[in-house]
Amino acid sequence: MLGESHDLRHEFPTLADRISVLCNSDKEFAHLMKDHDNLDARVRRLEELGIPVADETIGDLKKERLLMKDRLYHMLRAS
């Protein structure tokens, strides 16, 4: 769905407490999560505003967002 939020707390509600702990205790996790949230907001803006963007460009942004989310998830599960 266009404009749907993909932030970690929305995607992984059962890990919300763990997300909060890592945001406060792990600088790498907090930085990556901030980058992910910023990229997610950028993708949503592009979709919601209908800004002309090549399909390849939006696809690349979504792939990057997914890779970040995957890395964050592995960090959540590893600690």
C-alpha to C-alpha distance for 67 and 65, rounded to whole angstroms: 6
How much is the average pLDDT of 58-77? Answer: 95
Do the Cβ atoms of 31 and 23 come closer than 8 Å?
no
Q: Where are the domains of the chain?
A: 8-78
C-alpha to C-alpha distance for 73 and 56, rounded to whole angstroms: 25
Is the pLDDT at 9 greater than 60? The verdict is yes
Is the pLDDT at 54 greater than 90? The verdict is no
Specify the pTM.
0.86
C-alpha to C-alpha distance for 72 and 74, rounded to whole angstroms: 5
Is the pLDDT at 5 greater than 70? The verdict is yes
